[in-house]
Chain A
Amino acid sequence: MFVVQTESDDNHSEADDSVLVQRSLRGDTQSFRLLYRRHQQRVRAIFYPLCDGSVLDDLVQEVFLRAWKGLPKFRQTAKFSTWLYRIAWNVASDQRQAAAKGRSQLEVLSQHAPIQQNSVDVMHLHYQDLVQRGLVQLSLDHRTVLVLHDLEEITQKEIAEILEIPIGTVKSRLFHARAAMRQFLETEGVQL
């Protein structure tokens, strides 16, 4: 389950991250393992609405492998998580290009919906399905900003850094993504 981090938690985590990054740079793989444990769940949560769920593990693996290889290039002044999410975004873009040659995203995501049907009530499942379908109908750019900002609570400034776009573009994409999502949900009978 997604855990919302408070600002102090986040600062603490970043302080620890930089120590772990330093150790990893000296070749300490156990420190990198801790970085993996700390961030993999969030990388996973970001990936899931953006990519083919069947290759989620492979994508997470690719992100951390690229991070390990690229660690010497990581600027110590930057936030590790921002840099990691930037890698995740690149991996997601690469995967999307590859997937475009195969099955459509909609097919893949709709196949995954029944997997989550556990003992949760039907309405919850229905709304979950709606959100999933709503996200799928957004463009990747809009979906990414919506997921990062509204679901992962990453600041607009950081999103601008991750996606390497101006902050004005983040605001604009967020606005249009929300409008499209709201419209989709209303069409499906959801009153917000």
Chain B
Amino acid sequence: MSPLPEDDPQLTDFLKQYRPIAPVADPKLEQRVMALVEKVPHSLATQHANRRRFRQRVVWLLPTSIAAGLVAIGGSQLLFSPQPTEAELAELETFIESTWQGTVAEQPTTETEELYPLVGEGAVN
């Protein structure tokens, strides 16, 4: 297969000489384009500003969110830890009282007295 011919100077010259010429632009076109451009903040300038704002926010947000997280965890523990019912409290109180009384009341001091109280008494008498 033969390669395609690179140039056709006669045709190209003719086309250039008689090419369709675009009508002149509206004199206000440049103003129109620039007005639209001004309205659309694009670009790196905006992106840089956004990034800077984002970084500043992160600087403040990071410690704030850590503190808020800790508070939330503490709060939730307080909030969601199981609370004893009235009945349980009453039972607990009774238990503590009886246990306390047991410890304060006179108790056998030796193993012998505990096991054979009468033997102890008789021996005394």
Contacts and interface: CB of A to CB of B under 8 A. Distances in A.
Helix, strand, loop or mixed for chain A's interface?
A: helix
B14 A45 contact: no
A150 B20 contact: no
A96 interface: no
B11 interface: yes
A40 B25 CA distance: 9
B113 to A, nearest CB: 94
B59 to A, nearest CB: 24
Given A47-B22, A131-B18, A25 B38 contact: no
A181 B16 CA distance: 13
B118 interface: no
B37 A131 contact: no
Contacts of A112: 23
B78 interface: no
Contact of B34 (A1, A29, A45, A116): A29
B43 interface: yes
B79 interface: no
A86 interface: no
Interface in A46-87: 47-49, 53, 56-57, 60-61, 64-65, 68-69, 71-72
A94 B25 CA distance: 21
A36 B22 contact: no
Interface residues of A, number: 52
A151 B42 contact: no
A9 B59 CA distance: 49
Interface stretch (B2-10, B60-68, B84-92): B2-10
Contacts of B4: 171-172, 174-175
Given A60-B29, A72-B42, A171-B4, A49 B18 contact: no
Helix, strand, loop or mixed for chain B's interface?
A: helix
A60 B28 CA distance: 13
B40 A69 contact: yes
A127 B20 CA distance: 10
B15 interface: yes
Contacts of A45: 22
A4 to B, nearest CB: 9
A61 B39 CA distance: 14
A124 interface: yes
Which of A26, A45, A49, A131 lies at the interface centre, i.e. has the most chain B CB atoms within 10 A of its CB?
A: A131
B43 to A, nearest CB: 5
A37 interface: yes
Interface in A90-130: 109, 112, 115-116, 124, 127-128, 130
6 contacts: A47-B22, A49-B19, A57-B26, A151-B19, A175-B5, A181-B15
